[in-house]
């Protein structure tokens, strides 16, 4: 199934798949921001460092599930499988576009997929 992904977000997803922190950081505007795990990362250098640290810490595989676009907001739902408690999980990556580049991205848990919740619906964590 081919997904309809705006070009700026497609570049981000390609950099994510290649595990290219430099390429991923260049997808953002100079003053871009990523919000992940309760922290903000401002500017390309900070975004590159965030990406390198996340890749090293979690050693995950990113699989895009779907993409929705509403004006300048693009939501990418992805399944991440890796070396972290509760793997796999589904995360929403919400991009705010500025021209032809993402200006900001928010990453947040949307649904816990593992069996570690004892067969009950696991709590959602909102971003």
Mean pLDDT in residue range 30-38: 91
- Residue 2 confidence (pLDDT): 64
Task: Report pLDDT digits (tens) over 98-121.
Answer: 877 777 788 874 433 333 343 333
7-112 placed in CATH 1.10.10.10: no
- Residue 4 confidence (pLDDT): 84
Mean pLDDT in residue range 33-59: 93
SS3 of the chain: CCCCCCHHHHHHHHHHHHCCHHHHHHCCCCCCEEEECCEEEEHHHHHHHHHHHHHHHHCCEEEEEEEEEECCEEEEEEEEECCCCCCCEEEEEEEEEECCEEEEEEEEEEEECCCCCCCCCCCCCCC
Query: Does residue 24 register a pLDDT over 80?
Result: yes
Query: Does residue 35 register a pLDDT over 50?
Result: yes
């Amino acid at each position: 199934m081919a997904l309809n992904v705006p070009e700026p977000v497609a570049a981000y997803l390609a950099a994510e798949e290649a595990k290219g922190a430099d390429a991923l950081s260049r997808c953002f505007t100079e003053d871009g921001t990523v919000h992940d795990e309760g922290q903000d990362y401002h500017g390309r250098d900070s975004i590159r460092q965030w990406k390198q640290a996340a890749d090293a810490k979690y050693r995950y595989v990113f699989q895009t599930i779907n993409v929705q676009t509403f004006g300048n907001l693009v939501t990418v739902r992805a399944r991440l499988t890796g070396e972290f408690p509760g793997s796999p999980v589904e995360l929403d990556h919400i991009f705010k576009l500025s021209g032809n580049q993402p200006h900001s991205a928010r990453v947040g848990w949307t649904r816990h997929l593992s069996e570690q919740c004892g067969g009950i619906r696991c709590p959602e964590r909102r971003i």
